[in-house]
Structure 1
């Protein structure tokens, strides 16, 4: 038996022992290489790369796995009540602003229509005044309802110049064929104890021009106005009476 045969037998035995004792150990091939070098020194192998490996192309993607079991439901979150309240408040404010803008625009349109149709014959300090004539006499509560039907109320008298504007307007409505005067309700009130006249907001009136013989302390609360066709007649101006009395219309404002 020559040296090559002996070397091969020894290498085979070493390889078998290594493979059987360390079948998956990464150094097994290196030990074979070392045994080969010991018995076959004339055959040169590179210790840095005793064996070469090649990475093949990736295989096809496998099929999609089955859907997993749904996890347990998490705990209920905590609502940010302050944030929710802020959002609601802002929505309400936006809605109110929108309504306010729409109302303002509607009022402008109404004002334009009234001006065009002559429905606002007297203007004073941004307010509109007009007369609602009734041939059948009406009580004060009826007068209030008549004004409210057009969004108004029985009129105040705010100054002497305003009073002159109202009386000139009422005088222009007098028809000689029907009557020589107008009796109308106003929105002012009379307080017997103080003998004072007040606006609807409770403040004292700055101008009053009484009918001859008025005010009458025994008569309470409501005030009317009489205007005749003659501006210098003594049978005109303001008078006080009870709300159950009757007049032929009402001066309204809005």
Structure 2
């Protein structure tokens, strides 16, 4: 095949990926995310989403796409889960230190104007007895980095990813344990890349 032909095939492939969007992943039911009575439509109607790249791949890592959806009104864990499902994904896991750094840069880059920090729900959970973090599939998380004073003395079972806009203080870059009813800025979603069937 000629070089021009290879470019044409590549362009068609990329175009088909964009048109097809992100393929849906079945959300792991072991996560036991508390559900919200709010439907996806009403979340979008009642809450003003200042930033959001639903269905777009902002970070590609390990054959998965990661995107950050931000709500100025903030959202509970159940609402974050609903938003990720509407974006054809699920709440994200963090798969290692390199991945952590990529996601931290994404969250920092999407900090709303005038805010000093940004905070997003993850799909990982904290075993409150052992204080170990689990991925949504039940495996132990391969990389943990807590913010200062986390986890709480009485641990909370759900995990958010907190990032200060100013990168100089590493004590405030990482995970924090939360109650599912707490309202935080965003949802970090993951889905399969469109060409992985």
Q: Same fold by TM (over 0.5)? A: yes
1:128-207 mapped onto 2 (5 Å cutoff): 128-175=65-112, 177-207=113-143
Aligned to 2:18: 112
Of Structure 1 and Structure 2, the greater strand share is in 2
Give CA deviations for 1:53-82 in whole Å, capped at 9, x if unaligned: xxxxxxxxxxxxxxxxxxxxxxxxxxxxxx
Hey, what does 1:34 align to over in structure 2? none
1:200, CA displacement in angstroms?
A: 0.7
Instruction: Tell me the distance in 2 between the aligned counterparts of 1:221 and 1:231.
Output: 27
Q: Normalising by structure 1, what TM-score?
A: 0.53
The aligned residue for residue 219 of structure 1 is: 155
User: Shift of the alpha carbon at 1:230?
Assistant: 1.6
Q: Secondary structure at the match of 1:216?
A: coil
Asked whether the equivalents of residues 104 and 173 of structure 2 are also in contact (C-alpha less than 8 Å), the reply is: no
Are 2:158 and 1:252 aligned? no
Q: Give the alignment partner of residue 242 of structure 1, picking from 149, 159, 179.
A: 179
Per-residue deviation at 1:220? 2.2
Structure whose residues are more often helix by fraction: 1
Query: What TM-score results when the alignment is normalised by the length of structure 2?
Result: 0.68
Partner secondary structure for residue 172 of structure 2: coil
Tell me whether 1:228 sits opposite 2:164 in the alignment. yes
Structure 1, unmatched stretches of 5+, are 1-107
SS in 2 for 1:248: strand
**In structure 2, distance between residues paired with 1:224 and 1:126:** 23
Which structure has the bigger radius of gyration? 1
Greater relative contact order, per chain length (Cα 8 Å cut-off, separation 6+): 2
Report the number of matched residues. 145
Give the whole-Å Cα distance in 2 for the aligned partners of 1:153 and 1:181.
23
Give the 3-state SS of the residue equivalent to 2:69 in structure 1. Answer: strand
- 1:158 touches 1:207 (CA, 8 Å); kept in 2? yes
